[in-house]
Amino acid sequence: MPLVYSIFVPHPPLLVPEIGQGEERKCSATLEAYRYLARSLYEAQIDTVVLVSPHTPLLRDGVVILQDETLRGDFAQFGVPKVKLLFSNNQLLAGTLAKELPGGVLTSGKLDHGALVPLYFLQEAGWDGKLVVMSMPLENPEGYGEIIRDILKSYAEPIALVASGDLSHRLKNDGPYGFHPSGPQFDTKIFEGLSREPSAIKKIPRDLAEEAGECGWRSLRLALAVQQGLPRVLSYEGHFGVGYLAAELYQSSPLPQWARQCLEAYLNKGTTQGLTVPDVPLLQLRRPCFVTLHKDGDLRGCIGTTAPFRENLAQEIEHNAIAAGREDPRFWPVEAEELPSLTISVDVLGEMEKISGMDELDPWRYGVVVRGRGRTGLLLPRLEGINTAQEQVDIAKRKAGLGPDEPVEMWRFEVVRYFE
């Protein structure tokens, strides 16, 4: 998968120092997050950025993609025409997207401020790669994201996705569109969705989004659909009556890539001999882990341990990846032809901490281990559809073959989840 990085960023022109003239310092958290994300993208050695802007011309049914060999724009409409940006267009990818996306249209045009603001900070960080700029779809952004995901699989160079968008424009009476109660409600749902359950974001009522006066809901939903990740909100501010949220949506990791190599080698050759372990210091440490396989969004296998049994994490992942594919008793063994349709994640577990009650649990932060009658059940954190500690413990008990009212000892643990 060449997509290695995905972010969501706001686009207020006043963040650009030449425009803000000091006012940008009132959004210091947003500026700090922006520069962190831009630097991270640059350090990932990204060849092409696909940028989704809500201010590129919008179609009711389809998307607009800029086709010019050189993509350029300036901030003249904001009083600083001397601040100009230009980038080479990845015309091959732009053409493919226009052909494969429903209602895709190629057109000529200048970069709008929804693209220019993110690009200003990318250029400031040193990035000077190729660019593809497209509008966001007004309908079914998840469907467009899934098609983009499939298209990107055929590209060899590393690609990043930048989803541009502001949240509600109706947070304050003196904001650009005044105040509406739906404004803060909408922003809260976006923040909580990214922090807990990203799938909830697409379920936000459309009338709430419209009343909030947002312009980033669809671009965010598209980006979340392109690649599953563990979103991390870096900042949120609403000083000027508009919600500015900056988040890291997805970052690829060599850990699940190593798991895939091991499973693929075993399925095709019956052995993992000859594989080279990635040069990642974490893989040489002793850590317990779980390897999880999904197919078309559904669980396909998950095996792991709560304590390390092998020499290092690399060997732990190797063993658990093969076991998840071949030995999970809940599923038929995975076959080699299924590999392209699988997504793989690796959870590296922290220390176990004994707890006295469910008030010490949070299913979005902690996993849980229950033990009773010599039986043990474990449930990882951040599982879709599990929102309370009671639900988490009940499921862990069922996995252990224990009744819902049986007394148990409990431990909690944190994990770091890595995606391909």
| pLDDT tens-place values along the chain, 420 residues long | 589 999 999 999 999 999 999 999 999 999 999 999 999 999 999 999 999 999 999 988 899 999 999 999 999 999 999 999 999 999 999 999 999 999 999 999 999 999 999 999 999 999 999 999 999 999 999 999 999 999 998 898 999 999 999 999 999 999 889 999 999 999 999 999 998 889 899 999 999 999 999 999 999 999 999 998 889 999 999 989 999 999 999 999 999 999 999 999 999 999 999 999 999 999 999 999 999 999 988 999 999 988 999 999 999 999 999 999 999 999 999 999 999 999 999 999 999 999 999 899 999 889 999 999 999 999 999 887 888 999 999 999 999 999 988 999 999 999 988 998
46 SS3 class: coil
CA dist., res. 183 & res. 213, Å (int): 7
Measured at the CA of 325, the angle between CA 324 and CA 329, to 5 degrees, comes to: 65
Who contacts 124 (Cβ-Cβ below 8 Å, separation ≥6)?
35, 38
User: Which pLDDT belongs to residue 106?
Assistant: 97
Give the rounded distance of the alpha carbon of 249 from its chain centre: 3
Question: Which CATH fold topology does 254-419 show?
Answer: Glycoprotein, Type 4 Pilin (3.30.700)
Query: Which one, of 119, 217, 131, 233, lies nearest residue 169 by Cα?
Result: 217
Residue 196 is predicted with a pLDDT of 85
Provide the pLDDT for residue 9.
98
The reported pTM is: 0.86
pLDDT, position 1: 54
Task: Write the single-letter amino acid at 62.
Answer: G
- Find the angle CA(30)-CA(11)-CA(134) to the nearest 5 degrees: 135
DSSP H or E segment with residue 67 = none
Tell me how crowded residue 264 is: count the other CB atoms within 10 A of its CB: 18
Distance between CA atoms of residues 51 and 114, nearest Å:
9
Residues 6+ apart with CB under 8 A from 304: 288, 289, 290, 291, 320, 347, 349
The owner of tokens 């045009």 is 109
**CA–CA distance, 392 with 376 (Å, rounded to integer):** 14
Structural domain boundaries in the chain:
5-249, 254-419
Could you identify the residue written with the tokens 């006066």?
A: 213
Contact (Cβ atoms closer than 8 angstroms) between residue 151 and residue 108: no
* 3-state secondary structure (DSSP) of residue 92: helix
In this structure, what token pair is assigned to residue 344?
A: 């793989």
Strands (DSSP E) contained in 136-275 are 159-164, 232-237, 244-251
- Homologous superfamily of the 5-249 domain (CATH): LigB-like (3.40.830.10)
Check: CB of residue 24 under 8 Å from CB of residue 15: yes
Q: Give pLDDT, residue 176.
A: 85
